[in-house]
Amino acid sequence: MTIKQLSKELQDMTIAPTKLCEASLKRIKNSKYLNNFITISKELAYEQAQASEKLIKAGETRSPLEGLPVAVKDNFCTKNIRTSCASKMLENFIPTYNATVVQKLVDHGAVIVGKTNMDEFAMGSGAVDSAFGPTKNVWKTPSGHLKVNTFQGNQTKAVDAEEDWFIAGGSSGGSAAAVASGACVAALGSDTGGSTRIPAAYCGIVGLKPTYGLLSRHGLIPLVNSMDVPGILTRNVDDTTLIFNLLAGWDPKDSTTVQEDFEPIDLESDFNLRNITIGIPQEYHSPGIDAQVLNSWSSVTTLLEKLGATIVPVSLPHTKYSIACYSILNHCEVASNMARYDGIEYGLRSAEQQSTEEMFAKSRSQGLNQVVRGRVISGNYFLLSRNYENHFLQALRLRRLIANDFLNVWANGVDLLLTPVTLGEAPRFSEFTLKDNREQCATQDYCTQPANLAGCPAISIPTQLSKNGMPLGLQLLAPNFDDAI
Amino acid sequence: MQRSVKSRAVRQAINFCRSQHSKVATESEAPAEWKGVVGLEIHAQISTSSKLFSRSSTEFNSPVNENVALFDAAIPGTLPVINKACVESALLTALALQCRINPASTFDRKHYFYADMPAGYQITQQRNALANNGVLRFYVTPPDGKPYLKSSKLKQLQLEQDSGKSLHDIEGRKSLVDLNRAGIALMELVFEPDLSNGEEAASLVKELALIFRKLKTCSCKMEEGALRVDANVSVQKTNSTTLGPRTEIKNINSIRGVANAINFEIQRQIDANKRNERVVVETRAYDAQNKSTVAMRDKEEKQDYRFMPEPNLPPLRLAKGETGDKKIVSIDAILKRIPELPETLREKLMNEFDLVPIQAINLVNDEFLLELFYELCNQIENPNGRTVYGIIMIDLLSLLKQNSISYDKNPISTGNLLELYHLKQGRLISSHVVSKVMDALNQDPSKSAQKIVEENSWFLINDREVILKVCTEVVAENQKKVRAVLKGKKNSFGPLISAVDKKLNNQVDMQLARSIMEELIEKERNK
């Protein structure tokens, strides 16, 4: 069911928002084995559902989202709901304000059921590096019931079963798993290098990374300010559009949002592909890409061509440098953004009493995981005045070249780019953890982070199932601010 | 006659040179080949009601941690939003200091861990500031000498955040943090090292404060930390262009402190050089009690601030002409808001009212008295500026000071000041009588100056016969002094006139008395 259809049920009062809320919370409870939620906001959700129920009865529905359960990634500040960023550092951080996008959801009548799991401070592509444990993919993961049974059985078997599951992808893995498991109609993720699109692809749902500057970042705890965007995870493109229209627009609290008035997008039902030129960037044929992904890529290309689209091969020559450029910029901003976690104003404070400096150091090493600390160190190294020119500035120049690659393609009459999202299907946990976070990010983000460097919109859409029965997705990219397509 | 005037001038000039020379000579016996090189960095809090990137209040003395927006405490997810009023104030200041304005300036993060710096970095403008290349011209008034004009180049004017304040409880081993000040807008002004001593530095700060107050961009309350001065000091041999190692004196919070700290530091460095000791590059603090500087313990090693562009703020763009867009600050619009600045005011006073530099400086330094000066001059046809100046800046000011009267309780009405001016200018009363009338008016402000003079018959005595009579008496009574004058001792002439004045109740026309006395003495010579 789409949001519109579900909304109609609520309007017709065939389902009551409180009942829907209850069902959603039950689903979350039953799928606890996925570990996709960090905090469940049961009481607030009920309050919101009750309010919706009253408004629906009074005929004062605020939007098609009225009374519908929505989940929010745990790096968006939510008033009176713990916002941990999946870190020990913020384990007890309860914001006093809502992020702008959260506030918009609330104002449009959404029921916030909880905060979803993620990689700590969104640093990761697997949703495995969380202080609250990894998130599991809803596809092919033994249910909680099964798991308990396995545990009661033979020990080795239990370990096998434990490692048998597929990862949800990250860093917005909890949000993707929440939508895929049916716990909510939509979830907010964030996307810095692919954190919304990758888990969407692995979980078989739609994940949108909008153009930088269209959705407010106010209240989104930053990973990389110049690339972060709130992402939208839904089960279909209609729902994506609906949520996107509700959330987009200028926010005076975020100076990087675009000040022009936002025109809501209207998806045409008789969309004609004949006027559309789709580019296939050859650089995305990266080594190590799964044959099934390539297959899916070419079959969809053929399908689009049959439907009338003009298909052209294009080149984005600087793609191969993209991941290095992305890593440097990412680590530099991380080093800076993480500097505030010193245990003074909020967050974990170590009991250390020796000196202020000692207290800072202990709080940070106790509160932040190794991935975060590693990036802080390398980022600070790149920012040292002796390295700034050779690393940070070079990376900024490279970023300009990468963005220009996209501009050239658009200037040559290409409307959309079709690329893979990931190099393969969701890996198994055991497989994924063979490599460390840094290596995994370099692999997993290969196809996704160029869009973040360029700021352009990208959407991950499920296309087919792999031989293993795991979902595969493809990515469409468009020129900045042409999110409509 | 012509010749004698000339020769006197030449003699004076020679004397001047000689005295200067002897002064230098005595100094050169000790250090002389060393001179100080001073550059100032000034932090001025912009007097807007809210902070640079948040809406919290900037009020001084609020209860602890009262004026703290989520952003000021670096709560995760909050973003900076620039305060247009702060930009306008900084721009106005930059334009008044003749800076080149950057049409697009950018913000940077300067990183360091400090408990009262909640984000772990300060947002500042390191690489691409709001304005560059300004200049400040000001008068330096050395304690013993004539004022001279000096100028200092302003390298950069940038916007940045102030930090919070830490309080250390040593005994309880606790540090407390107050974030009221965190995020208040600062203008940082970086001057080139083109000053040579503490007096010049103090004069620069005074002039800057005068301009800030005129522009209303900074309260300049140094005691509240609204204006803080850092001084970079080194010494250099007069015949060399290489600078010695530089020390930085941090957070000097009074104008007197600026002069004292810098002069102490220059001397300390000169002494060290003379003892062949190395001057260490370090940060020092000013100890106001001992008028000295002491090395600070922190910043032992050079910090690397790991500057990075602030990603949450787009470049700050300024428009040249007027724009319809209210969000963009127009340089031209701000340019129109620049009032008459001290430098122009002084020039005008000197040109229009024939004042000497020190008079112009003193008047411009005091807004109330300057206004009074103009008020009086506007009501006088062809005013004599120096006479008005004398009445206000000498007689009135000393009356107020001696009786500790504040400006708003000034007992002398404008009407009476005008009467006094006309009496004085018309040579109807002596200078001494002006202050006597003021004393009387202080007792009863409702009286008229003219009436007081009349009632007391305090008019100037300019009856030649009367003066001649008294002068003759004085000559007779002071034969010793007369003989001294005859031998060429000019110093003894003054006391003779004073004696005449005294005998005539301080009402004598001095000019007349002088010429009569000169005549009498010439007569004595011929005896």
Q: Smallest CA–CA separation between A48 and chain B, in Å?
A: 24
- Asked whether the beta carbons of residue A255 and residue B82 sit closer than 8 angstroms, the reply is yes
Pairing status of strand A111-116 against strand A186-191: unpaired
Q: pLDDT value at position A145?
A: 40
Nearest-CA distance A253 → chain B (Å): 6
**Is B352 part of any domain?**
yes
What residues pair up with B132 in beta bridges, in sequence order?
B100, B156
DSSP state of A368: S
Query: A442 or A474, which is more confident?
Result: A474
Assigned domain for A298 exists? no
Residue A12: give the domain boundaries: 3-247
Find the CATH number of the domain harbouring A106: 3.90.1300.10
B128 within domain boundaries: yes
Sign for the pseudo-dihedral over CA of B371, B372, B377, B378: positive
In a domain, A260, yes or no: no
Interface contact flag, B76 A221, Cβ < 8 Å:
yes
Name the residue in chain B with its Cα closest to that of A339.
B120
Statement to judge: residues B218 and B356 lie in one domain: no
B306–A383 C-beta distance less than 8 A: yes
Q: How many domains does chain B have?
A: 3
Q: Enumerate residues 6+ apart whose C-beta is below 8 A from A162.
A: A429
A318-323: average pLDDT: 93
Measured between CA atoms, how close is A106 to chain B, in angstroms? 18
User: Do both B89 and B59 map to the same domain?
Assistant: yes
Active site residues of A: 73, 171, 195
| Residue A48 located in a structural domain | yes
Are A365 and A373 in contact by the 8 Å Cβ rule? The answer is yes
Residue of A nearest to B172 (CA): A353
Name the 3-class secondary structure at B420: helix
Q: Domain count of chain A?
A: 1
**Binary contact (B77, A356; C-beta < 8 A):** no
Query: Is the CB of residue B115 less than 8 Å away from at least one CB of chain A?
Result: yes
Q: Are A357 and B313 a contacting pair at CB < 8 A?
A: no
Instruction: Report the residue from B73, B311, B327 with minimal CB separation from A333.
Output: B311
Rounded-to-integer distance, Cα A41 and Cα A114, Å: 5
Q: Based on the fold, state whether residues B411 and B439 are members of the same structural domain.
A: yes
Question: Which residues from B are below 8 Å from A383, CB to CB?
Answer: 111, 306-308
Which residues in chain B show pLDDT less than 70? 1-32, 297-301
Residue at B115: amino acid letter: A
Q: What are the φ and ψ backbone dihedral angles of B159, each rounded to 5 degrees? A: -95, 140
pLDDT of residue B22: 38
Whether A392 and A383 have beta carbons less than 8 Å apart is answered as yes
Report which of residues B15 and A52 the model is more confident about: A52
Q: How much is the average pLDDT of A11-30?
A: 94
Angle between helices A319-337 and A437-444 (to 10 degrees): 130
Determine the distance in angstroms separating the CA of A242 from the nearest CA of chain B, rounded to an integer: 25
Number of H helices, E strands in chain B: 17, 17
Same domain, yes or no: B452 and B485? no
**B78: which chain A residues are within 8 Å (Cβ-Cβ)?**
218-219
* Domain end position, chosen among B423, B456, B489: B456
Does residue A44 form part of some domain?
A: yes
- Give the H/E segment covering residue A24: helix A17-30
Residue B2 has what pLDDT?
41
Q: Over range A216-220, report the average pLDDT.
A: 98
Q: Is A256 part of the contact surface with chain B (CB cutoff 8 Å)? A: yes
| Residue scoring higher pLDDT (B21 or A389) | A389
Q: Which residues of B touch A76 (CB under 8 A)?
A: 77
For residue B292, is it within any domain? no
The verdict on B189 and B103 lying in the same domain is yes
Q: Are residues B404 and B473 in the same domain?
A: no
Residues of A in contact with B73 (CB under 8 A): 345-346
Q: Are residues B363 and B386 in the same domain?
A: yes
Do B435 and B501 belong to one domain? no
- Nearest residue on chain B to A345, alpha-carbon basis: B73
Give me the pLDDT at residue B301, please.
63
Are the beta carbons of A218 and B77 separated by less than 8 Å?
A: yes
| B307 contacts on A by Cβ (under 8 Å) | 383, 385, 388
* Residue for token pair 């409509």: A484
Q: Is A97 on the interface with B (CB under 8 A)?
A: yes
CB A223 within 8 Å of CB A122: yes
> Radius of gyration of chain A from Cα atoms?
22
Picking from A475, A449, A411, the residue whose alpha carbon sits closest to that of residue A192 is A449
* pLDDT of residue A485 exceeding 60: no
| Range of the structural domain that residue B349 is part of | 342-456
CATH classification at residue B518: 1.10.10
Do B472 and B397 share a structural domain?
A: no
Of A347, A360, A173, A42, the closest CA to residue B77 belongs to A347
Task: Give domain status of residue A263, yes or no.
Answer: no
At residue A158, what is the residue type?
Answer: A
Task: Tally C-beta pairs within 8 A across A and B.
Answer: 108
Residue predicted with more confidence, A166 or B25: A166
**Beta-strand pair B247-252/B227-237:** antiparallel
Q: How confident is the model at residue A142 (pLDDT cuts 50, 70, 90)?
A: low
Domain stop point among B228, B255, B282: B228
Q: Could you please report the per-residue DSSP string of B129-151?
A: -SEEEEEEEEEE--TTS--EEEE
Name which residue leads in pLDDT, A142 or A98: A98
Q: Residue A102: what pLDDT? A: 98
Residues A379-406 have a mean pLDDT of: 95
Out of A197-206, A421-430, B17-26, B464-473, least confident range: B17-26
Instruction: Provide CB contacts within 8 A for A66, sequence distance 6+.
Output: A7, A10, A17, A52, A55, A56, A108, A109, A110
Which has the higher per-residue pLDDT, A121 or A150?
A: A121
Same structural domain, B448 and B422: yes
Length of chain B (residues): 527
In a domain, A210, yes or no: yes
Please check whether residues B449 and B481 belong to one and the same domain.
no
- For residue B505, CA distances in Å to A45, B387, B430, B471, B490 come to 96, 22, 10, 14, 24
- Report DSSP state, residue B50: B
The predicted structure's pLDDT at residue A473: 87
The confidence score (pLDDT) of residue A144 equals 44
Based on the fold, state whether residues B504 and B436 are members of the same structural domain.
Answer: no
Instruction: Please name the member of B79, B82, B109 whose beta carbon is closest to the beta carbon of A218.
Output: B79
pLDDT band (50, 70, 90) for residue A464: confident
> C-alpha dihedral over A296, A298, A301, A305, to 10 degrees?
-130
Q: Looking at residue A481, what is its pLDDT?
A: 67
Query: What is the nearest CA distance from A410 to chain B, expressed in angstroms?
Result: 25
Which domain-ending residue is among B416, B439, B456?
A: B456
* Residue B104, in any domain of the structure: yes
- Closest Cα in chain A, distance from residue B223 (Å): 28
Q: Is residue A237 part of a domain?
A: yes
What's the CA gap between A120 and A129, in Å, rounded? 6
- The answer to whether residue B22 sits within a structural domain is no
Out of A254, A360, A392, whose CB is closest to B79?
Answer: A254
Touching check for A392 and chain B: CB below 8 Å? yes
CA A369 remoteness from chain centre: 20
- What are A249-281's pLDDT values in tens digits? 999 999 999 988 888 888 777 778 888 999 999
A319 in a structural domain: no
